[in-house]
Chain A
Amino acid sequence: MDRFLNLGAALLQPLLLLAAAPLLTGVIRRIKARLQNRRGAPLLTPYRDLRKLIAKEAIVARTASPLFRAAPYVVFAATLLAAAALPVFSTVLPGARIADAIALIGLLGLARFVLVLAGLDAGTPFGGMGASREMLVTTFAEPALLLVIFTLAMTTHTTNLAGMADATLTGATVLRPSYLFALAALLLLGVAECGRIPVDNPSTHLELTMIHEGMLLEYSGRHLALMEWAAQLKLTLFAVLTVDLFLPWGLATRLTTPAVLAAPPLLALKLLLLAALLALSETVLAKMRLFRVPGYLTLAFLLALLGLLSHVILEAAA
């Protein structure tokens, strides 16, 4: 019985995330619209968009290889698998055992790699441009993301995400300078990884500035739907990751009914806060020119590095 329950919960968590991902995007759009004095689209618009795209015929360029067709499925599956590694409501689920932070980064890396290949595969200039820009961002962002994980791993003595959250929950509440730096770095990196303002603008197809959209330009129909959905899932994933690592309070550490029941609303509240933060920063900031992006990412890298160093200097020294 327990096994079934566990298995069900393990499957349920990523599927819930997947289901919630378009909603989060809708919420962000809505808040942004309100901040800009617009009414904004209904919250469920992203779902309708996805349904519409799935129903449409997928057109594939003649020059494209099979890789182009396979890419959306691989990207979607890899992102979903990465999402399965996240503790969403509880830290004691069986999925927790595979919930390794480095595996998560690796899965996201795989998704990105395939996405970049697909962008190149169609052979259009915009796809290539987007791919090369994506790699530029990755080159800086991925090591920094690993540094963030290492900083936390040094404090919690594990790279298991559930373990990390657990350690933070059960340990004494402590002000840690390294966490402060790591949080700042993770927020900057999340923005860059998910292609949000100021690094990339998800709502434009202006040729000269786009990164992520450039690679998707040749996709249509269900392929596009999968790609979009994966991107929304990735944003949700980063938001949940931030919450898990830095604000895990509310996550159930034991499988008791009240704990499990309290977790979802709390998580929703925290995600709403993050969404508001993102919407606010996207309203205030302007997209920066591409050649400034390495500077931005260097800042994120520096913050991550400082987190690591301040852990070693201020916290770890015996």
Chain B
Amino acid sequence: MIWLLLAVFTPLAGVLLLALLPRAGAAGWANLGFSALSLAGALGLATRVLRHGVLDAHGFRVDAFNVYLVVLTTFVGLTTAVFSRPYMYYVHTDEKRVSARGMRLYHSMYQGFLFTMLLALTTDNLGILWVAVEGATLATVLLVSLYRTPAAIEAAWKYFILCGVGIAQALFGTVALYFAAQHVLPAGANGLSWSTLYAIAPQLEPRVMVVAFVFLLVGYGTKVGLVPLHSWLPDAHSEGPTPMSAVLSGLLLNVALYAVVRMKMLTDAALAHSATPELAGHLLMGFGLLTFLTAVISLHRRRDIKRLFSYSSIEHMGLMSFGFGVGGPLATFAALLHMLVHALTKSSIFVTVGHATHIARTQRIERIRGLIRTQPAVGWGLLLGVAAIAGFPPFGIFTSEFLLLSATMQLWPWLTPLLVLGLVVAFAGLFRSTQPMVFGAAPPGQYPVRANMLPVLTHLALVLLLGIAIPAVLAHWLDQATQLITGRSLL
């Protein structure tokens, strides 16, 4: 329990303290410190859960599924904080795009965002989950408009409105769920507790659950970036500060998907004996596939580098939703692994992109040229990152995509060609833009910047490691999560 409190509530302390800390330089270090402390708590929590099983107390519930996301969240939170400290300091002092007050807001809300993410992951109460996910929007919306340009404000407004409307549907779904629970549970029981609901899920009224799940899927799906409610995502990613893009892509989307999967577990259990036992999975598959294909096509002809990679995030979220929708141990295992490697890879890419935009002093792809000549570390980082995200063999994404394709081959063979084709098209779209940025002649007057490639290196090394051999402890861990979600073990 103490580890849980350390992991979740350190960021909350960070929100308050960083809001009061006036010096931007010190705030960056403090931000890093809080994130590190939170990671330490998460690691302790993970050890505890792996040794002694589910932790279920005081309205929190930590099992194998969410503890791995907690570790991932705090880890990416820490590495991004490492990157963000010099990056934002540079934006503040050299580019002068952010005022001192803006910096305070930034650091405070960075921790606020982490807090809402961790709260959403660890809480057992579905109402609190909703409040936390909505809170994540509120925490990040002012960060998206941090640069105060018209485009940034527009992006933030769109983000705010679209996510606000979307998430409202999720609340309606939650109400419907609570309603279904009240008809089964005795008076006084907590009908919003996920554990309680999961225990009685087979008795929940199927028709009500269908309505609830559709609303929950639309609501949290907006945050996942599922088509057709994805249009906020590229805007918010491209106009906000780069560290924000890294954590939005790496963490927020994962947490929203986590919420959807939790709801799917309930719905599956409730619908098991109805006429349409796999309705939730099919819906998730359909939206996932639609999202994947739409994003794949959108990857072509992008002009803004951050928009390019945010479409790539949408593509991968589509793949994961598809994987969870297919169901079964193999596909679920693949989707879980994909969540992990995508978060690591995508945040490393955004970190590199941050450096690249500092070198080229623009986000326009056609103006970013010759990175590898100007600053080999950044150029190689981008190249390897893109290779990883496109699914090249030694990297972990290859593994997860391969597993997903195998699962699809088993259950829905005729969808496999579509997925492969999509991956090829995505690959082409990514490399067409990346190749000239990395190679090509550097424009005159382009100089290296101070770049901290440590986060990139760590992330890519991890992704590579996961691609070559998944450590036994992690495999066991993911297997436990798979067992939790599908009821069957893969290994």
- Is there a direct interface between A and B, measured as CB atoms under 8 Å apart in the complex? no
